Amino acid sequence: MVAAAWPGVDPEWSREVQVPSTSAPDAPGTARRWHILDNGPQLAAKGLAPAGTLLCVHGNPTWSYLWRTLLAAGSDPAHPWRVVAVDQLDMGYSERTGTFRRLADRINDLGDLTAALGLDGPVVTVGHDWGGAISLGWALAHRDQLSGVVLTNTAVHQPAASKIPPALRLALHPAVHQWGTVTSDSFLRVTHSLAHPPLPADIRAAYMAPYRGAARRFGVGNFVADIPVDGTHPSFPALTGVAEGLRGLDVPALMLWGPRDPIFSDRYLKDLVERLPHAQVHRFEGAGHLVAEDRDIASPIFQWLAALDPAAAARPAPAAEPATGAEPWGAADFRPLWSLLDEQAAGPAGTGMAVAEMAADGSTSRQLSWQQLDRKILDLAAGLAAAGVGPGSRVSLMVPPGVDLTVALYACLRLGAVVVVADAGLGTAGLSRAVRGATPDVIIGIDRALAAASVLGWPGRRISVRDLPAARRRILGVETSLDTLGRPVTARPEPHPGQAPDKPAGQAGPDAPAAVLFTSGSTGPAKGVVYTHRQLAAMRDTVASTFGIRPGSRLVAGFAPFALLGPALGAVSVTPDMDVTAPRTLTAGALAAAAAAIDATVVFASPAALRNVVDTRDGLDEAGLKVLARVELLLSAGAPVPEPLLAAVQQLVPAASLRTPYGMTEALPVTDISLEQIRGADAETAAGNLQGGGNGVCVGKPVHGARLAVIPLEADGTAPGTVPVTDPGVTGEILVSAPHVKDSYDRLWLTQQASAGLPGWHRTGDVGHFDAAGRLWVEGRLAHVVTAPGGPVTPVGAEQAIERLEDIRLAAVTGVGPAGTQAVVAVVETVPPARRAGPAAPALAGSVRAAARTAGVEISAVLVVPAQPTDIRHNAKIDRTRLSRWASRVLAGGRPGTP
């Protein structure tokens, strides 16, 4: 044992302890030799009093070396914590006992060690793999010392309907077990190969060192053999005791997870979250089984510890939301999302159209009146409840916008289920990541979505939209359908006192989770955004008051969120004939047909959709032009909308007020501005009469109830400050505070901490500034700021200037090179499109540079592409990170290829 040869380990931490054993399988009075890594003596020698002790327990086939970053962090004088990382008996450098030690024995062993060390509270346990169950077993047995628990990729329960992971099944197979885990070092090598990125050679060698030779690997084999595969296994009662004991463990908890784990997948995280619902959870997208190697876990653990009162005893879990009652939705003045829908169904408009969807020939393919919609929602809610969907159930909705999605969404919300919305616009890989991360209990989907669920192994029971043939149901694993569940019922339970007849009671409180909505993923993996019922209702009220959308309004919803919000506003809504996951598929003819079907007063479409509407306007006949001329309000959001595009759209809807609200999945809307106001701000800026004007997209002033500020940008392109400012011309990260801002990010505790770093504010990740009139100008994303030698360069102002050139369709400004010395590169999509990607012709490059210079940006290189790489969901958000990598390759002399 040579501690100095272990990278990242201070030799002073390594020591051995003789521990009297108090229980079987050892004979009374037996002493066992433990090896531990312990920074306690080092802290004492420095005169540092630790705030508490982290008791770290490894799994199989690692050892205490797994926790070296925690030992280093705990030795920092700024936040000293004693860290005791154990080598379990028969593992690491601890004694090889020659006895088979089961789960209960290992829990007792750990108790013997902590007694021998004289370990007293406050203690926070940290566990990984099967060390997670052992650490939790110790925690349950030492509640008087316990202050918190930390878990990384582990499990305490094997669902009866699921098989254990394939890798463990193979390791347990009689023909493989002895050879794979003991005779050879295969099990160790396979485990180490699960690191992302791969472990460096010296780190792999350190992990292998205690297990050289079969004689030192019997503990590895026994650990695998002790996995309780079913109720007959000797360790099953001990594991069950730990699993059930967690339901009453009310100390603070933190779970850090690697989703790319073929052993402890997200289904085990879901089980742990259900047992410890108050836990803080963060999934490190891209990390796997060895999450402590794949990511920095020390920083978040010590960030969490800093907010923990280690001297506190067990903490009470958050109070459960009321299930039913006379006022199940809390305050009497709270109006849930469907309240206007109910009023429309009960009022004089009840027999009038509520929702419709269009066919390719321009006819209305399906429609429901308000009364029919209300009835279908109630019938489906009853059917879902009978199928076991209830408060807190997660339901992934993979249904295109239209009648079916509207009914399913509102039925789930009325039940208190949490709807999960991640559309196909994320792409197959992104969608799969989102669904797996959300771990739905139920997937409701069209045939294509259910086929993907079957092939990709998404979690959750499966419900189809339509009734399917028996063979197809078996192939897709479908239990039932919305058609079946939504069939009318003849009897309903008696209403609660004060509840309207025939209306089910709210099944969750206003501050209970209602929805998980996924972002576009334009700056990294899509994030699940959690909204409560209160926040969804606030979004409805903000939209209604900002844009004057009232019951009786008639809305063409070419943007999925508004297709779902229409009934909540009491507005008649229609989905045009288009693929909403590809907004460019909306044509002028389809828009006009949808508007004609309801005599539309309001249109909502994304910028990419509007661009294609303008491009296809020559196909409109006289009737189409007339119906569009009656539109009173047109809204567009999801990406910056250039003024020339709005001007072209205005010609199609001459009577409409054109508004471009700014917002995001986390808060929609945040600001609002009209085309006339945009032109006014641009004119003031051009005349030099507006301090802080220009360099970005003017998105107007905050909507009712919202506050805005910025955190100033530093020279390195970051915004680390903590003082919000609203001074004109100061560029920084945009902050927003409003009743309809999201509750949190789903199982992304660190992301939530960063976004809510200032109390009461959400950090948007966008950058911008205010002008002297208090209007906000958006300059781009914080992640896309170019750190040039002269200071940070934000992209949007220069991009808009370049896009004013007649032969440019879309432009993106990105950086190439090391941070702080990046070259500013413009990548343009031309009209007509270039045949191949590469450097721009000299004349085009000159005009692009001149245009960017009017926005105060000097361009180092100009490249052309046949089409910009945009996110599928909006077809408007350009993937600048991808462009930066491509531009770096091209400018270094590589083959251009396709970005």
- DSSP state letters, 525-540: S--EEEEEHHHHHHHH
Q: What is the CATH number of the domain that holds 443?
A: 3.40.50.12780
Cα-Cα end-to-end distance for the chain: 51
Mean pLDDT by runs of 10 across the 899 residues of the chain is 84 97 91 98 97 97 98 96 98 97 97 96 96 98 97 90 77 86 96 96 97 97 92 94 96 97 94 96 97 98 87 38 34 83 95 94 94 96 95 95 94 96 84 94 96 93 96 96 88 43 63 93 85 96 94 90 87 91 88 96 93 94 96 89 91 96 93 95 89 88 95 94 94 96 96 90 96 94 93 93 92 93 95 92 96 94 90 61 90 83
Element (H, E) at 449: helix 447-456
Q: What is the CATH number of the domain that holds 741?
A: 2.30.38.10
Clarify whether residues 411 and 466 are in a common domain: yes
Provide the angle, in degrees to the nearest 10, between the axes of the packed helices 796-803 and 842-853: 130
Clarify whether residues 773 and 789 are in a common domain: no
848: containing domain: 785-891
Instruction: State which of 524, 550, 581 marks the end of a domain.
Output: 581
With respect to residue 312, please indicate whether it lies within any of the assigned structural domains: no
| Cα 244 to the center of its chain, rounded Å | 29
Whether the CB-CB separation of 509 and 399 falls below 8 Å is answered with: no
Residue 201's Cβ-side half-sphere holds a number of Cα atoms within 13 Å equal to 0
With respect to residue 521, please indicate whether it lies within any of the assigned structural domains: yes
Clarify whether residues 823 and 777 are in a common domain: no
Residue 76's Cβ-side half-sphere holds a number of Cα atoms within 13 Å equal to 10
Torsion sign over Cα 598, 599, 602, 603: positive
**Angle ∠(414,419,420) on CA atoms, nearest 5:** 175
With respect to residue 627, please indicate whether it lies within any of the assigned structural domains: no
- CB burial class (10 A; 0-12, 13-18, 19+) of residue 339? middle
Instruction: State which of 724, 750, 781 marks the end of a domain.
Output: 781
pLDDT for position 161: 65
Tokens 């380990």 map to which residue? 9
Element (H, E) at 224: helix 218-225
Residue 476 makes CB contacts below 8 A (sequence gap 6+) with 447, 450, 451, 453, 454, 462, 464, 468
* Helices and strands per DSSP (H, E), number in the chain: 31, 36
User: Distance between CA 75 and CA 703 in Å, rounded?
Assistant: 49
Instruction: State which of 558, 581, 604 marks the end of a domain.
Output: 581
**What phi and psi, each to the nearest 5 degrees, are found at residue 781?**
-100, 145
Residue 235 makes CB contacts below 8 A (sequence gap 6+) with 102, 103, 104, 226, 227, 228
User: Distance between CA 123 and CA 102 in Å, rounded?
Assistant: 24
Encoded amino acid at 705, one letter: G
pLDDT for position 692: 85
Domain count, the chain: 4
With respect to residue 613, please indicate whether it lies within any of the assigned structural domains: no
Clarify whether residues 384 and 518 are in a common domain: yes
Torsion sign over Cα 746, 749, 755, 759: positive
pLDDT for position 153: 98
pLDDT for position 501: 43
Whether the CB-CB separation of 26 and 99 falls below 8 Å is answered with: yes
User: And the tokens for 744?
Assistant: 């949190």
Local structure of 25: helix, strand or coil: coil
With respect to residue 334, please indicate whether it lies within any of the assigned structural domains: no
| Cα 65 to the center of its chain, rounded Å | 31
Clarify whether residues 351 and 445 are in a common domain: yes
Residue 515's Cβ-side half-sphere holds a number of Cα atoms within 13 Å equal to 29
pLDDT for position 876: 53
With respect to residue 599, please indicate whether it lies within any of the assigned structural domains: no
With respect to residue 624, please indicate whether it lies within any of the assigned structural domains: no
Clarify whether residues 560 and 678 are in a common domain: no
Would you mind telling me the total number of residues written for the chain in this entry? 899
Q: What is the CATH number of the domain that holds 803?
A: 3.30.300.30
Q: What is the CATH number of the domain that holds 179?
A: 3.40.50.1820
Clarify whether residues 772 and 790 are in a common domain: no
DSSP state string for 869-890: -B-TTTS-SB-HHHHHHHHHHH
Clarify whether residues 772 and 859 are in a common domain: no
- CB burial class (10 A; 0-12, 13-18, 19+) of residue 310? middle
**What phi and psi, each to the nearest 5 degrees, are found at residue 395?**
-125, 115
Clarify whether residues 153 and 262 are in a common domain: yes
Clarify whether residues 459 and 575 are in a common domain: yes
User: Distance between CA 674 and CA 660 in Å, rounded?
Assistant: 6
User: Distance between CA 569 and CA 590 in Å, rounded?
Assistant: 24
Clarify whether residues 441 and 551 are in a common domain: yes
| Cα 612 to the center of its chain, rounded Å | 30
Clarify whether residues 734 and 808 are in a common domain: no
Encoded amino acid at 531, one letter: Y
Whole-prediction pTM value?
Answer: 0.90
With respect to residue 721, please indicate whether it lies within any of the assigned structural domains: yes
Burial 118-128 (b: 16+ CB within 10 A, else e): ebebbbbbbbb
- As beta bridge partners, residue 754 has none
Whether the CB-CB separation of 384 and 409 falls below 8 Å is answered with: no
